[in-house]
C-alpha cells in the first residue's frame, strides 16, 4: 500500500480538501470520472461522520495493488465515542445526530469493499476499497 496522504478532519474545509485529494488520486490512477466522483462522495460521507460524531479525526488515502488490480483505499479514523450498535448504524435512516442516516450505508454502496471497526469510548475506523475497472 502506497501512502498518498493523511488529511486531518476538524472542519468543513478539511472535508473539502479530503474529497479533492481523493478525486485527484482517482483521476491520476485512471479511474473513470464516475468512479472518481463515487470515491469523493464516499470520502465526504466519512468525513461528515467524523465531524458530526467525533469532532476530529483523519482520512488516509493510499494506492493499493492486489491480485493484478489497482485500487484506492480510504481509511477514516477517529477517537470519538464509538458506535454502540453497528448493525443499527448500518441501516439507512438511522441517525443519532439528527441527519438523514445515509453516511455509513451510503458510503458502503459507493465502494467495492467496506469494513468498520468501532469500540465504544475508543473510536471508529472505517476502511473502504474501490478497485479500478479494467478497460474493455
Which position has the grid cell 462522495? 41
37 Cβ contact list (under 8 Å, min separation 6): 23
Q: Which of 21, 3, 24 is nearest to 13 (CA)?
A: 21
Local confidence band at 135 (pLDDT 50, 70, 90 cut-offs): low
What pLDDT, in 10s, does the model give residues 49-72? 999 999 999 999 999 999 889 999
Look at residue 23 and tell me whether its pLDDT is greater than 80.
yes
End-to-end Cα, the chain, rounded Å? 26
Mean pLDDT of 127-134: 92
> To 5 degrees, how large is the angle CA 89–CA 109–CA 100?
45
Architecture of domain 2-131: 2-Layer Sandwich (3.30)
87 pLDDT band, cuts 50/70/90, is: confident
Amino acid at each position: 500500500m502506497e501512502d498518498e496522504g493523511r488529511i486531518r478532519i476538524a472542519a468543513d474545509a478539511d472535508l473539502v480538501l479530503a474529497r479533492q485529494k481523493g478525486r485527484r488520486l482517482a483521476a491520476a490512477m485512471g479511474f473513470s470520472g464516475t468512479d472518481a466522483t463515487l470515491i469523493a462522495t464516499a470520502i465526504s460521507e466519512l468525513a461528515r461522520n467524523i465531524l458530526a460524531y467525533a469532532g476530529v479525526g483523519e482520512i488516509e488515502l493510499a494506492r493499493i495493488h492486489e491480485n493484478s488490480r489497482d485500487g484506492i483505499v480510504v481509511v477514516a479514523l477517529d477517537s470519538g465515542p464509538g458506535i454502540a450498535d453497528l448493525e443499527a448504524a448500518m441501516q439507512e435512516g438511522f441517525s443519532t445526530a439528527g441527519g438523514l442516516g445515509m453516511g455509513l450505508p451510503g458510503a458502503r454502496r459507493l465502494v467495492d469493499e467496506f469494513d468498520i471497526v468501532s469500540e465504544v469510548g475508543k473510536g471508529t475506523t472505517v476502511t473502504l476499497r474501490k478497485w479500478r475497472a479494467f478497460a474493455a
